[in-house]
Amino acid sequence: MNESASSLPMAPLDECVQPQEIALEFRGSAREYFRIWIVNLCLTLATLGVFSAWAKVRKTRYFYSSITIDKTPFQYLAEPLPILKGRILAALLFAVYWFSSSFYLPALPWVLGAGVIIAPWVISRSMAFKARYSAFRNMTFDFRGNYLGAAQAIYWLGLVPVLVIGTMFEWWGSWEAAAIAFTAFTLTFPWWLSRLKSYMVSYASFGGERGRYSATGGQFFRVYFVAGLIVVGGGVLSAVTAFWVVPPSMRSDWFLILMSLPVYAGYVLAFAYVQANISNLVWNHTRLGPLRFRSTLSGRGMAKLYFTNALGIVASLGLLTPWAVMRTLKYRADNMRVLVEGELTALTGAKRSAVQAAGAEMGEFFDLDLSL
């Protein structure tokens, strides 16, 4: 305990060439999380969902406090009651949507239209809620993105992918139209996603420094292109085995089901590849004052994780869910490094943010958490 002031060693001013690399340490245990998970699930079911706000807070607190950087855990500061209010509001909105989609279809376009209008608000507010109730070393994060920014990020480039999916029934069945729709989608979706990530990063801040984002849509496109090749590869593999390698006499129903496995495996692999590489892409192109990040997730590692998790969860009738959650978090934490270039003192928390953190329970009405 005699170590001096700061634990994150700082590079001297004259030679800030070599950045300081700090690993994340994951301290969560499946055993411990199992108890938290099961008790909160039980109380949520017994109270018909009312307790879910407490459950969310308890679980998120555990996730945050399990991840430490240089001996300091992250802190989740949200209080259950504001989350409960947010959930009640969200549940009411969902009930309107549910009712119109089940019984009164003429109203559905209006409901969806209202959804389109409030979506940017929901995104910017939930980002702000998440940021303001997350803290590290007694300094809260912040998010200053507004409605207009979110609307631009979602709807400017997003219009094309949304239109393509929205008009699915029109082009379904016609090859030419489907090809045009598909091309339009591929040539806009990666750029749209990059724009959305840019909005999320650029308006987030910590210690008075805003995030700076430098990934491009082209890089997103490359990730999705490889993922597409993986899916096609899985399909070709099963088609070749099913129709050329195996004689027709052996093509029973069960065999055909078996043959669809490579397709499914290809899909899972592609999904894992996208998850890992998009995550890497965003983190590795984000800068926050003197901080940079290095994310080294791999598609193979993620796919292995998904596969074993699914196996464990199904085989244990869900009881291994906490184990799956913990090892996934651990894998993500183990593959993340924080690079400090320069001095941490460049980050300064306003006195205000500390006060806000203490009074987080008074969360304003508009900071409601809308995640259902």
Partner 1 sequence: MNGAWFALRGYYYDGRQPLRRSATLEIAAGEATLLWEEQSRRYRAANLLVSPRVGRADRFIALPDGGQFQCGNHASLDRLPQHSVTEGAVAWLEQRVAVAVASVVLIVALLAGGYRYGLPAAAQQVAAKIPLETEQTLGEQALVWLDDSDWFQPSGLGQDTQDRIRWKLEELYAELPYAQHYRLEFRQAEYIGANAFALPGGTLVITDAMVKLAESDEEVLAILAHEIGHVELRHVMRHVLQDSAVAVAAATISGDAATLSVAVAGLPSVLAQAEYSRDFESEADDFAFRLLRKHGMSPEAFASVMERIEGDCECDPGALDFLSTHPITGERIERARAAAQGLGTTESESK
Q: Identify residues 283-312 at the interface with partner 1 (CB under 8 A).
A: 306, 309-310
Q: Is 52 within 8 Å of 86 (Cβ atoms)?
A: no
Residue 19 engages partner 1 in binding (rule: CB under 8 A): no
- The residue from 12, 14, 18, 102 that contacts partner 1 (CB under 8 A) is 102
**202: nearest Cα among 137, 139, 131, 140:** 131
- Rounded-to-integer distance, Cα 129 and Cα 133, Å: 6
Tokens 């990063």, residue located? 201
Interface with partner 1 in residues 140-199 (CB under 8 A) = none
Provide the minimum distance between the beta carbon of 39 and partner 1 in the complex, in angstroms, as a whole number: 5
Number of alpha carbons in the 13 Å side-chain half-sphere of residue 2: 0
Quick one: which H or E segment has residue 37?
A: helix 30-46
**140: nearest Cα among 350, 299, 370:** 350
Nearer to partner 1, 179 or 362 (CB): 362
Provide the minimum distance between the beta carbon of 281 and partner 1 in the complex, in angstroms, as a whole number: 18
Interface with partner 1 in residues 265-284 (CB under 8 A) = 268, 271, 275
- The residue from 20, 22, 24, 137 that contacts partner 1 (CB under 8 A) is 137
Stretch that binds partner 1, among 114-122, 161-169, 233-241, 317-325 (CB under 8 A): 317-325
Q: Indicate if the alpha-carbon torsion angle 343, 347, 351, 354 is positive or negative.
A: negative
Residue 106 engages partner 1 in binding (rule: CB under 8 A): yes
**118: nearest Cα among 167, 110, 204:** 110
Residue 41 engages partner 1 in binding (rule: CB under 8 A): yes
- The residue from 5, 17, 245, 250 that contacts partner 1 (CB under 8 A) is 5
Q: Which residues contact 306 (CB under 8 A, 6 or more apart)?
A: 268, 271, 272
Strand order in 286-288's β-sheet?
A: 72-73, 67-69, 20-26, 336-340, 291-295, 286-288, 209-213, 204-206, 139-143, 134-136, 75-76
- The residue from 223, 325, 333, 338 that contacts partner 1 (CB under 8 A) is 325
Number of alpha carbons in the 13 Å side-chain half-sphere of residue 351: 0
Size, binding site for partner 1 by CB under 8 A: 80
Residue 54 engages partner 1 in binding (rule: CB under 8 A): yes
Residue 230 engages partner 1 in binding (rule: CB under 8 A): no
Number of alpha carbons in the 13 Å side-chain half-sphere of residue 62: 21
Residue 262 engages partner 1 in binding (rule: CB under 8 A): no
Nearer to partner 1, 1 or 13 (CB): 1
Stretch that binds partner 1, among 15-23, 38-46, 143-151, 188-196 (CB under 8 A): 38-46
Residue 42 engages partner 1 in binding (rule: CB under 8 A): yes
Nearer to partner 1, 191 or 273 (CB): 273
Stretch that binds partner 1, among 2-10, 153-161, 213-221, 242-250 (CB under 8 A): 2-10
Residue 134 engages partner 1 in binding (rule: CB under 8 A): no
Residue 249 engages partner 1 in binding (rule: CB under 8 A): no
Nearer to partner 1, 62 or 220 (CB): 62
Buried b or exposed e, range 168-195, using 16+ CB within 10 angstroms: eeebeeeeeeeeebeeebeebbbbbbbb
Tokens 């094309």, residue located? 160
- The residue from 25, 79, 334, 341 that contacts partner 1 (CB under 8 A) is 79
Stretch that binds partner 1, among 52-60, 194-202, 232-240, 280-288 (CB under 8 A): 52-60
Q: Is 140 helix (H, G, I), strand (E, B) or coil?
A: strand
Q: Is 289 within 8 Å of 345 (Cβ atoms)?
A: no
The number of residues making up the chain comes to: 372
Interface with partner 1 in residues 55-74 (CB under 8 A) = 57-59, 61-62, 65-66, 70-73
Stretch that binds partner 1, among 30-38, 82-90, 125-133, 179-187 (CB under 8 A): 30-38
